[in-house]
Homo-oligomer: A and B are copies of this chain.
């Protein structure tokens, strides 16, 4: 089992990913629950091989921990306080090592996991319908949580989510990345509800439509008849 082969990883440097998804008017974050007696919630993260670019490491970690690939992913901040130590892991060393296929934790040179870590924060945007998160080897479950009601995460991971959300808000319009959260085709109402979930505030319907269309990145398709007793909205697709 080479899950944490210390020889090949850069020590005391990690990557943690904030994976945003959107569904039913709610901005969500994917949070694995670590397999321990006391439930531990932690951002999906991992380590960087000594000869691996950090971007590729982030993509690999995401793939390994959640099965997600080919998505929008970007570094946003480095968290490097002197006290970034995984105390929850420290307090559960015995249990943790037992669950790793009976290998003794210390004898396998895994002590480095309890050192202080600098972590590069990445945030990702995924179409929640296209994604079927898989559990990592240490995970008990993986679930989407509303960004407004996350569980208590380990270390400073709640703060990492906060900062990721700030970054998402700053970059949403400029980089036109929001459409990564939507399915292939969508209505203008869906775009608006997405924006309202991200910024946690309402937008005026007419002005919003104008603003988005003025971006000149959407292609108007046929109408979508929902069966509801109202005008059928157009479908749009993101182009370019």
Contacts and interface: CB of A to CB of B under 8 A. Distances in A.
A54 interface: yes
Contacts of A75: 77-78
Nearest to A85: B51
A39 B134 CA distance: 52
A23 to B, nearest CB: 31
A79 to B, nearest CB: 8
A223 interface: no
A210 to B, nearest CB: 26
Interface in A46-96: 48, 50-57, 75, 77-78, 80-82
A116 interface: yes
A191 to B, nearest CB: 25
A192 to B, nearest CB: 26
Interface in A74-130: 75, 77-78, 80-82, 115-116, 118, 120
Contacts of A120: 78, 80
B54 A115 contact: no
Nearest to A83: B53
A10 interface: yes
A13 B127 CA distance: 34
A51 B116 contact: yes
Contacts of A10: 11-13, 118
A81 B56 CA distance: 9
Contacts of A51: 82, 116
Interface of A: 10-13, 48, 50-57, 75, 77-78, 80-82, 115-116, 118, 120
19 contacts: A10-B11, A10-B12, A10-B13, A11-B12, A13-B13, A13-B118, A48-B80, A50-B115, A50-B116, A51-B82, A53-B80, A53-B81, A53-B82, A54-B80, A55-B80, A56-B82, A57-B80, A78-B120, A80-B120
